[in-house]
Structure 1
Amino acid sequence: MKKYFVTGLLIWIPLVITFVVLAWIVNTLDQILLLVPATVRPEAFLGFHMPGIGVVVSLLLILVTGLAAANFVGQRMVGFWESALSRIPVVKSIYYSVKQVSDTLLSSNGQAFRKALLIQYPREGMWTIGFQTGAPGGDAAHHLGPDFVSVYVPTTPNPTSGFFLMLPRKDAIELDMSVDEALKYIISMGVVAPPPHRTRTPQPASALLNQ
């Protein structure tokens, strides 16, 4: 009975958690309709509330914003908006910090999370998986020199928190796995192992930034 019960849990827990997360996302995005006058909301025409309308509206809003910002007038408007935010002390710090991180992670020409690396952490003899985020910059680069690489080491099972390390390139080994496979491996606490890949000679991270 215990075996069957555990098997049932393994089937239902992912389904329930997925449903709860999706329901939370839909309900949160539906709140955007509260900014619309009640007379023009979908339920005013349909006679009942239809979940998911906020998701469609949010996606359209993001798409329209992207299209508008792609032309000259839109870029000028974005520049004016950012200039206005830069004059607000607290808002400036929050906005530009979030913008810098999002630009780094989401930009198509960014270098964040492009490589999965194997490093020794938190001490020699213990290994973990990290992600290349670039090379040290600013005054840190002046003190460390060019032979260092910046690595983000996520925590398990929540990869949104972690540690930022700057270590010698020779101490980082490039793994033959994608970033998605490495994230699944970390989130599952090593249970969901990546599929076997073509064997190759392990490469240090010294060649990563030259690719």
Structure 2
Amino acid sequence: MNLEPKLSDTPRRGPLGTLRANFLTGLVVIAPIAVTLWLIWTVVGVIDGWVLPFIPNAYNPAVLLKQKFDVDVDIRGVGVVFFLIFTVIIGWLAKGLLGRSFIRWTEGIVTQMPVVRSVYGGLKQIVETVVSSSDTTFERACMVEYPRRGIWAIAFISTNAKGEIAQKGDEEMLSVFLPTTPNPTSGFLLFVPRGDVRVLDMSVEDAAKLVISAGLVYPNSEGKPKKIRNVKLMD
């Protein structure tokens, strides 16, 4: 007996099924945009909350509107603009002779404070590492065996191991960052022998999507994201 389903036997979606499919499709389109806008709005509000108290009322648009037209308006982004202008001015002054001398003088005072020097030194090193050059970006996506042999995890190659780490290893080591799912900003720093690292052809962005989606979205051979559907895991 032929048990293969015919086209006419496949169930058709009813009105509720169609409505549900349309809702999920719309949610997929709206959710990333809404979350992105909400994050931008929140970050801008936080920066404004830090910066606006230091802005004189004569230069604060919200205060000027309140004084002249008696209108309360929450103008987002004013603090961000002043912060950017202030940062550019500080950077310009720091490049000059007086600016460098002042920075050396203040750092000399900070390095004499037991607790403050540790916090300041660590934060300065992190900021300089992040913004210094393109060498801080991940080079390639890869797979490493973690947490044991036979189990593979997505990771990102940072750079070749240097200093004492490279000297203590029996062979050439790679500095690898192993992200966690669904938050790829946290993870583990691993030093893996080069021979145990399998470099992937996919880009770092595609690998990050794979990690964030917990394996539900992966790049196909054309490099376009593809969803995994109806995967039969066991009989």
Question: What is the TM-score when the length of structure 2 is the normalising length?
Answer: 0.71
C-alpha separation in 2, matches of 1:160 and 1:184: 12
C-alpha separation in 1, matches of 2:137 and 2:34: 32
Structure with more relative contact order (C-alpha pairs < 8 Å, separation 6 or more): 1
Structure with higher Rg: it is 2
Per-residue CA deviation, residues 87-142 of structure 1 (Å, 9 max, x unaligned), is: 23222222222322332232215345223222222222222222223344454434
Aligned to 2:34: 16
Q: Is the 2:178–2:190 Cα contact (8 Å) retained in structure 1?
A: yes
From 120, 143, 154, the counterpart of 1:118: 143
Pair 180,29 (structure 1): closer, same or farther in 2 beyond 3 Å: same
From 80, 104, 126, the counterpart of 1:55: 80
Q: Is the 1:112–1:134 Cα contact (8 Å) retained in structure 2?
A: no
Pair 177,30 (structure 1): closer, same or farther in 2 beyond 3 Å: same
1:106 matched to 2:125: no
Pair 111,39 (structure 1): closer, same or farther in 2 beyond 3 Å: closer
Counterpart residue identity of residue 88, structure 1: M
Aligned to 1:206: none
Deviation for aligned residue 1:39 = 4.0
Secondary structure of 2:75's match? coil
Aligned to 1:76: 101
Per-residue CA deviation, residues 121-170 of structure 1 (Å, 9 max, x unaligned), is: 22222222222233444544342245111111111121221001111111
Deviation for aligned residue 1:43 = 2.0
Q: Is the 1:117–1:129 Cα contact (8 Å) retained in structure 2?
A: yes
Aligned to 1:96: 121
Q: Is the 1:85–1:91 Cα contact (8 Å) retained in structure 2?
A: yes
Aligned residues: 198
C-alpha separation in 2, matches of 1:147 and 1:63: 42
Counterpart residue identity of residue 211, structure 2: I
Give the ranges of 4+ consecutive aligned residues of structure 1 lying more than 6 Å apart after TM superposition. Answer: none
Counterpart residue identity of residue 182, structure 1: A
Aligned to 1:27: 45
Per-residue CA deviation, residues 158-210 of structure 1 (Å, 9 max, x unaligned), is: 12210011111111123334333332332232334346469xxxxxxxxxxxx
Counterpart residue identity of residue 22, structure 2: Y
Aligned to 1:201: none
Per-residue CA deviation, residues 38-59 of structure 1 (Å, 9 max, x unaligned), is: 3442223333442211121122
1:148 matched to 2:188: no
Q: Is the 1:42–1:49 Cα contact (8 Å) retained in structure 2?
A: no
Aligned to 1:188: 213
Q: Is the 2:139–2:159 Cα contact (8 Å) retained in structure 1?
A: no
| Percent of residue pairs identical | 35
Unaligned runs of 5+ in 2: 1-15, 67-72, 224-235
Counterpart residue identity of residue 29, structure 2: I
C-alpha separation in 1, matches of 2:171 and 2:38: 47
- How do 1:165-180 residues align onto structure 2 when only pairs under 5 Å count? 165-180=190-205
Pair 97,21 (structure 1): closer, same or farther in 2 beyond 3 Å: same
